[in-house]
């Protein structure tokens, strides 16, 4: 059975340590576990990871062995407001993992000997497992980028209603995605069976002693969880696509330039923009920034608290369901869904003579492509670009997540370009190139830019970095992003002005 489990292990390269959704410190400290916490930061994790060339799945053993005395002294002397790198153990402190009886064996038995003498997988099998892991990972990212985009667009539509107290619809999507990120970072039940199946405990061994050490269990579970494609798909794919940094910066600029669209409060309200004092525009800018940052920081905390509160009732994904059904099924579902979105763009349901045409004989009132379909086509491209940029860039500067910063700024720049093109006369005087051109640009903003940029990871990084580094990183992200939009969008807004788009947005 041990050999069979060896075949099913995921092979994750050590570059995955650069995904801040997976390695960032826990958002909260459980008050019942104060003795377990070591003050650690995102910077210290990266510095420690840079000294080791082990595979990420071997990192599980490194965390189980505990920190050296020197590392403990170093972490204890760090900023008291920064939490430990890892997820808190379950509420049940004494027995946090129920190891199946079949996985435990008595010392000296033939089954124990067979476990100790597990043969190393052949290079061919390692290559096959590595390819399968990458395929599962990409498929989960594609699938959850589609779901995250639909969730963001749907929530924006639901929260933009008459007399809404908040005019920025993306605020609630950013709150929801960050809340889920906080929940995932604290949860230790969803993948509990995965941990138990991959780490059988043998009586009389050092691992059996570690079973009674909640601190070692917490480190082991945190190291294991970040090697699971499903978890990476949820944290990087869904949360990253559900939130949008570029839309957040766009709303800051629109508030600054008195161009932010607000819901109609009364039937007699006019669509004309009322001029105002520049001081009010500055207050509007501060309102969008403070609302988003403070609300998302609280969402990260609230999600973590919620995970701790419902931990006794949280179910676990069965090991066989994850490995044999979900991993294989997501390959078909993800790629099939993406392909289906492409076909629906070619033949939208509300086309003339389509199933949702309602008897229309022209394309003028066709809206599906601009509202959702083109966004779904572009969404996986943005999500995958963010994923690989994080892999290759986040580890370069320990105190400044360069990968997340790069995609957020680049995505903001692209959104500004798309927005200008959509609201400016192009060919033959048509605004945004006409209805189809407007829909393509809207899909690029909602899908590609929305999934390329992320607030959930950005907030998790702000929470995980040391205080000084967090302020520098957060201020640089917002100020540079806003500065770019002032140049790109402001050059049109304060000269020709924004024209109404040619399609429904």
Q: Residues 127-186: pLDDT tens digits?
A: 558 888 899 999 999 999 999 999 999 999 999 888 888 888 899 999 999 999 999 988
**Measured distance CA(107)–CA(204) in Å, rounded:** 7
Least confident segment among 62-71, 341-350, 421-430: 62-71
Contact 27, 180 (CB under 8 A): no
3-state secondary structure of 378: helix
Burial label for 313, CB within 10 Å (0-12, 13-18, 19+), is exposed
Top-confidence range, 356-365, 369-378, 473-482, 488-497: 473-482
Contact 458, 297 (CB under 8 A): no
Least confident segment among 363-372, 383-392, 400-409: 363-372
The answer to whether residue 381 scores a pLDDT higher than 70 is yes
> In this predicted structure, what is the pLDDT of residue 53?
44
How crowded is residue 371: how many other Cβ atoms within 10 Å of its Cβ?
Answer: 18
Contacts of 280 (CB under 8 A, 6+ apart): none
Contacts of 318 (CB under 8 A, 6+ apart): 193
Residue 301: which of 462, 472, 473 has the closest Cα?
462
Q: What residues does 7 pair with on adjacent strands?
A: none
Q: Dihedral angle at the C-alpha atoms of 184, 188, 190, 195, nearest 10 degrees?
A: 130
Which comes out higher in pLDDT, residue 96 or 303? 303
Residue 170: which of 181, 180, 161, 159 has the closest Cα?
159
Write down the residue that tokens 């009389």 correspond to: 204
Model confidence pLDDT, tens digit, residues 190-243: 888 776 555 555 444 444 444 455 666 666 666 677 788 999 999 999 999 999
Report the mean per-residue pLDDT for the chain. Answer: 77
Q: Record the pTM.
A: 0.79
3-state secondary structure 248-265: HHHHHHHHHCCCCCCCCC
Model confidence pLDDT, tens digit, residues 38-85: 546 777 666 666 555 444 445 444 444 444 444 444 433 333 332 233
First to last CA, the chain: 55
**Measured distance CA(223)–CA(57) in Å, rounded:** 8
Contacts of 426 (CB under 8 A, 6+ apart): 432, 433, 437
* pLDDT-derived band at 357, boundaries 50, 70, 90: low
The answer to whether residue 107 scores a pLDDT higher than 50 is no
- What are the b/e assignments for 466-483, b being 16+ CB within 10 Å? beebbeebbeebbeebbe
Alpha helices in 310-448 (DSSP H): 319-320, 327-346, 368, 374-393, 402-422, 434-443
């Amino acid at each position: 059975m041990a050999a069979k489990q060896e075949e099913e292990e995921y092979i994750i390269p050590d570059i995955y340590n650069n995904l801040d959704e997976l390695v960032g410190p826990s958002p909260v400290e459980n008050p019942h576990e104060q003795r377990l916490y070591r003050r650690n930061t995102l910077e210290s994790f990266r510095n420690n990871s840079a000294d080791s060339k082990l595979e990420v799945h071997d990192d599980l053993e490194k965390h189980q062995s505990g920190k050296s005395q020197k590392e403990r002294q170093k972490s204890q002397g760090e900023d008291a407001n920064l939490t430990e790198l890892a997820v808190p153990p379950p509420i049940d402190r004494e027995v946090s993992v129920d190891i199946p009886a079949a996985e435990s064996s008595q010392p000296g038995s033939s089954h124990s000997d067979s476990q100790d003498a597990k043969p190393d997988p052949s290079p061919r099998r390692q290559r096959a497992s590595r390819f399968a892991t990458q395929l599962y990972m990409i498929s989960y990212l594609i699938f959850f980028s589609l779901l995250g985009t639909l969730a963001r667009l749907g929530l924006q539509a639901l929260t933009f209603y008459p007399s809404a107290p908040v005019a920025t619809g993306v605020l609630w999507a950013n709150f929801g995605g960050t809340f889920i990120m906080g929940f995932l970072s604290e949860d230790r039940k969803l993948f509990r069976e995965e941990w138990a199946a991959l780490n059988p405990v043998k009586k009389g061994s050092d691992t059996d002693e570690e079973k009674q050490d909640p601190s070692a269990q917490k480190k082991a579970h945190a190291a294991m969880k970040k090697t699971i494609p499903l978890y990476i798909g949820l944290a990087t794919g869904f949360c990253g696509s559900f939130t949008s940094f570029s839309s957040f910066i766009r709303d800051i600029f629109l508030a600054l330039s008195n161009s932010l669209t607000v819901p109609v409060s009364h039937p007699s309200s006019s669509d004309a923009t009322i001029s105002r004092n520049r001081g009010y525009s500055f207050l509007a800018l501060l309102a969008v920034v403070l609302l988003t940052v403070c609300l998302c920081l609280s969402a990260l905390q609230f999600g973590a608290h919620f995970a701790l509160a419902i931990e006794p009732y949280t179910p676990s994904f069965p090991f066989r369901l994850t490995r044999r059904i979900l991993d294989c099924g997501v390959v078909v579902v993800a790629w099939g869904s993406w392909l289906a979105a492409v076909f629906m763009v070619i033949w939208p349901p509300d086309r003339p003579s389509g199933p949702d045409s309602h008897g229309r004989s022209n394309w003028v009132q066709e809206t599906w492509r601009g509202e959702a379909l083109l966004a779904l086509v572009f969404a996986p491209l943005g999500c995958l670009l963010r994923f690989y940029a994080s892999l290759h860039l986040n580890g370069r500067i320990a105190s400044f997540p360069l990968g997340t910063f790069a995609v957020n700024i680049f995505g903001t720049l692209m959104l500004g370009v798309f927005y200008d093109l959509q609201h400016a006369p192009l060919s033959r005087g048509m605004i945004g190139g006409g209805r189809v051109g407007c829909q393509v640009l809207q899909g690029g903003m909602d899908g590609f830019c929305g999934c390329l940029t992320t607030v959930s990871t950005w907030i998790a990084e702000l929470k995980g970095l040391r205080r000084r580094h967090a302020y520098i990183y957060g201020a640089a992200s917002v100020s540079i992003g806003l500065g770019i939009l002032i140049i790109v969008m402001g050059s049109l807004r304060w000269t020709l002005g924004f024209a109404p788009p040619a399609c429904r947005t």
